[in-house]
Chain A
Amino acid sequence: MRWLMIFRIALRALARNKLRAFLTMLGIIIGVGAVIAMVAIGEGAKSTIRSQISALGTNVLIVLPGSNVQGGVRAGSGNVNTLVDADARAMTRELRSVAYASPVLRRQEQIISGNLNWGTLVQGVAPELEQIRDWQIESGRFFHDGDMGSAAKVAVLGQTVARQLFGADDPLDAVIRVRNIPFRVIGVLVGKGQTGQGQDQDDTVMIPYTTMQKRLMRITWLQSIVVRAVSAEKVAEAQQQITLLLRQRHRIAEGRDDDFTVRNLSDIAEAAQSTAKVMAVLLGSVAGISLLVGGIGIMNIMLVSVTERTREIGIRMAVGARSKDIMLQFLVEAVVMAATGGIIGIFLGIGSSQLLKTWAQWPTLIDPAVVAVAFFFSGAVGVFFGFYPARKAASLDPIDALRYE
């Protein structure tokens, strides 16, 4: 029997009992609608959390040189000179999980400008730091690669330093002295305020790390490398890859300890993300259960329908329908109901998540894959819950079915 015919018979049977078909579908409609709306809410929450996290800078990693162990005395991290700027360049070049990497050297220095002086933290960094720390320039410019190559004597001031040394005056193009070396001020950073520990982030001066290495500290190694992973999810991957890369570059034999440490700030990120994940799973499973309940509704009605239409089944068998034809007829009925319910549910889900977005300002995110899965799933529910009633119909004995009152 051709499919078209089966579809027509099924549609006609459903059309004969429109209200019942609709009420049966309602379970699936609500189920699929709930799946889509809930997943949209979950995904929306996840992406909001993600962007909040990346604003916090939690996809930032810090690579520190390892500690020296001498006679059982472990000196604490940062006193091995194995970390070099080539390591930082290799990270950005070779690791896909790393977006930016910048060497960092720091030292407390006394800065002199005219008749004023101020003690502050001088940091030698690369131009990438602007992206890594997401720290914009308020006026002037940040370093560029040219400043790096020439170890230029240029400086970018934090807000606090600018205020202490220049007050209301414009510090741009002014000259400051660090250990008697003149630096030209090329930019001022926007204010970043205090850290959680009460440290004033704006009390700093940034200069190219090459300048710091050659002119101020006279060293060739680095004190640390700050790295920004491409996304918060990639932090763990970046950490792993950096470890592998540095072990390779530093020729550390299998079984020997690292001569560096990679630290991340992603504990908060992990907590927040796992919360979002748990929420998404919870919402999704609640919605999934309602889809299941919808499926049971279909099975229930199909069983009633098979009993009700026993005589019809008998008639169809008497005039030549095979068991397979009867089975397909009822199965197609169930699938048509489930799939139609699925389509309506998809629109309901998309519509309600749009409503939530516009009225309640909830960030919702509709994933086409979820829509496709929800539709496929509703069809599968039809097959699954339609199978038993359909088999029951197909296994009826035509003689008994014809006699059924």
Chain B
Amino acid sequence: MSEVIRVQDLIKIYHMGDVEVPALRGINLTIERGEFVAVMGSSGSGKSTFMNILGCLDRPTSGNYWLEGEEVASLSADDWARIRNKRIGFVFQGFNLLSRTTALENVELPMMYNGFAGKERHQRAVEVLNLVGLGQRQDHTPNRLSGGQQQRVAIARALVNKPSLILADEPTGNLDSATSNEIMGLFQQLNSDQGITIILVTHEPDIAEHAKRQIVFRDGEVIADKPISQVLVELES
């Protein structure tokens, strides 16, 4: 197993006027390829900030972040765009699909920014839509799809450039529990069948149970980091 993510002494401080608000107070952790990690914590615990930094959307105040061995915290904005495009797939709570744009075009979107030819792009998008079970609805616009289907389109979009990492920010937050389980099942399947590394933010323990490892944040620090099996045992006892 190789490292996908390694962070060292990650610190993020926000400035609210004159007041310094520390969001991350020195995070150290490593995530290996093929892991399925649930990041938990109440709001304000720093988990969203952590995810934004992992997603190359936000810069840490200090500390290092290696993505697949490459130090990325200090790269330029354009390099980050390239990393987000090729190596990271995002799945959001609110789906964040382009409205009035078909499922297929939504999935093609990331490929528009890396020079895929039209035919290849189309082929690849259809392939990924089939993988998430939406092959039949590729011409539907998001407003004609259910929440679960929209999230599947978003997952297909995250997968389309074959990233090494998927970052999912409360992907089931807007879904009912049955659909949530379906989506989590899809994540588990992608993790086990395709070997894709998944990092999932959630505050629902039963969603976190679908992962293999749980990291808990509180006040900008990691207070717990253990395999789910151990968490479950602790819960029972």
Which residues of A does B touch, CB under 8 Å? 1-2, 5, 9, 16, 311-312, 314-325, 398-399, 402
- Expressed in whole angstroms, the Cα–Cα distance for A399 and B58 within the complex equals 8
When distances are taken between beta carbons in the complex, the residues of chain A under 8 Å from B57 are 318, 398-399
- 13 interchain pairs, CB-CB under 8 A: A1-B115, A315-B98, A318-B55, A319-B85, A319-B110, A320-B85, A322-B77, A323-B77, A323-B78, A325-B81, A399-B57, A399-B58, A402-B96
- Expressed in whole angstroms, the Cα–Cα distance for A271 and B193 within the complex equals 89
| Nearest Cβ on chain A to B122's Cβ, whole angstroms | 13
User: Sorted from nearest, which 10 A-B pairs have the closest CB atoms?
Assistant: A320-B85, A319-B110, A322-B81, A320-B113, A322-B78, A315-B96, A320-B84, A321-B113, A318-B90, A399-B57
Whether the Cβ atoms of A320 and B96 lie closer than 8 Å is: no
- Expressed in whole angstroms, the Cα–Cα distance for A13 and B114 within the complex equals 20
When distances are taken between beta carbons in the complex, the residues of chain B under 8 Å from A317 are 81, 84
Whether the Cβ atoms of A319 and B77 lie closer than 8 Å is: no
Task: Identify the closest chain A residue to B81 (Cβ).
Answer: A322
Whether the Cβ atoms of A311 and B113 lie closer than 8 Å is: no
Whether the Cβ atoms of B98 and A319 lie closer than 8 Å is: no
Whether the Cβ atoms of B110 and A320 lie closer than 8 Å is: yes
When distances are taken between beta carbons in the complex, the residues of chain B under 8 Å from A2 are 115
When distances are taken between beta carbons in the complex, the residues of chain B under 8 Å from A314 are 96
Whether the Cβ atoms of A320 and B81 lie closer than 8 Å is: yes
Whether the Cβ atoms of B109 and A316 lie closer than 8 Å is: yes
The prevalent SS among residues of A at the interface is: helix
- Expressed in whole angstroms, the Cα–Cα distance for A321 and B114 within the complex equals 9
Give the residue among A2, A322, A323 with the most B Cβ atoms within 10 A. Answer: A322
How many contacts between A and B, using CB within 8 angstroms? 59
For window 42-94 of B, CB contacts with A under 8 Å fall at: 52, 55, 57-58, 77-78, 81-82, 84-86, 90, 92
- Expressed in whole angstroms, the Cα–Cα distance for A9 and B109 within the complex equals 10
Partner of A319, one of B52, B115, B157: B157
Task: Identify the closest chain A residue to B98 (Cβ).
Answer: A312
Whether the Cβ atoms of A319 and B92 lie closer than 8 Å is: no
Task: Identify the closest chain A residue to B154 (Cβ).
Answer: A315
Partner of A399, one of B52, B77, B109, B114: B52
Task: Identify the closest chain A residue to B116 (Cβ).
Answer: A5
- Expressed in whole angstroms, the Cα–Cα distance for A315 and B157 within the complex equals 11
| Nearest Cβ on chain A to B117's Cβ, whole angstroms | 10
Partner of B81, one of A311, A321, A399: A321
| Nearest Cβ on chain A to B206's Cβ, whole angstroms | 26
- Expressed in whole angstroms, the Cα–Cα distance for A325 and B78 within the complex equals 10
Whether the Cβ atoms of A319 and B78 lie closer than 8 Å is: no
Check if B224 is an interface residue, CB within 8 A of chain A.
Answer: no
Whether the Cβ atoms of A311 and B84 lie closer than 8 Å is: no
- Expressed in whole angstroms, the Cα–Cα distance for A399 and B98 within the complex equals 16
If A321-B81, A322-B77 touch, whether A9 touches B112 (CB-CB below 8 Å) is yes
When distances are taken between beta carbons in the complex, the residues of chain B under 8 Å from A1 are 112-113, 115
A320-B110, A323-B78 given; 17 more Cβ-contact pairs under 8 Å: A2-B115, A5-B112, A16-B100, A317-B84, A318-B57, A318-B96, A319-B84, A319-B85, A319-B109, A320-B81, A320-B86, A320-B113, A321-B81, A322-B82, A399-B52, A399-B58, A402-B96
When distances are taken between beta carbons in the complex, the residues of chain B under 8 Å from A318 are 55, 57, 84, 90, 96
| Nearest Cβ on chain A to B87's Cβ, whole angstroms | 10
| Nearest Cβ on chain B to A394's Cβ, whole angstroms | 10
When distances are taken between beta carbons in the complex, the residues of chain A under 8 Å from B55 are 318
When distances are taken between beta carbons in the complex, the residues of chain B under 8 Å from A316 are 109, 113
When distances are taken between beta carbons in the complex, the residues of chain A under 8 Å from B58 are 399
| Nearest Cβ on chain A to B36's Cβ, whole angstroms | 21
When distances are taken between beta carbons in the complex, the residues of chain A under 8 Å from B96 are 311, 314-315, 318, 402
When distances are taken between beta carbons in the complex, the residues of chain A under 8 Å from B81 are 317, 320-323, 325
Task: Identify the closest chain B residue to A317 (Cβ).
Answer: B81
- Expressed in whole angstroms, the Cα–Cα distance for A398 and B161 within the complex equals 19
- Expressed in whole angstroms, the Cα–Cα distance for A398 and B100 within the complex equals 21
Whether the Cβ atoms of A320 and B114 lie closer than 8 Å is: yes
| Nearest Cβ on chain A to B59's Cβ, whole angstroms | 11
When distances are taken between beta carbons in the complex, the residues of chain A under 8 Å from B100 are 16
When distances are taken between beta carbons in the complex, the residues of chain A under 8 Å from B112 are 1, 5, 9
Whether the Cβ atoms of B92 and A402 lie closer than 8 Å is: yes
- Expressed in whole angstroms, the Cα–Cα distance for A321 and B86 within the complex equals 11
- Expressed in whole angstroms, the Cα–Cα distance for A399 and B92 within the complex equals 12
- Expressed in whole angstroms, the Cα–Cα distance for A325 and B113 within the complex equals 8
Task: Identify the closest chain B residue to A318 (Cβ).
Answer: B90
When distances are taken between beta carbons in the complex, the residues of chain B under 8 Å from A320 are 81-82, 84-86, 110, 113-114, 161
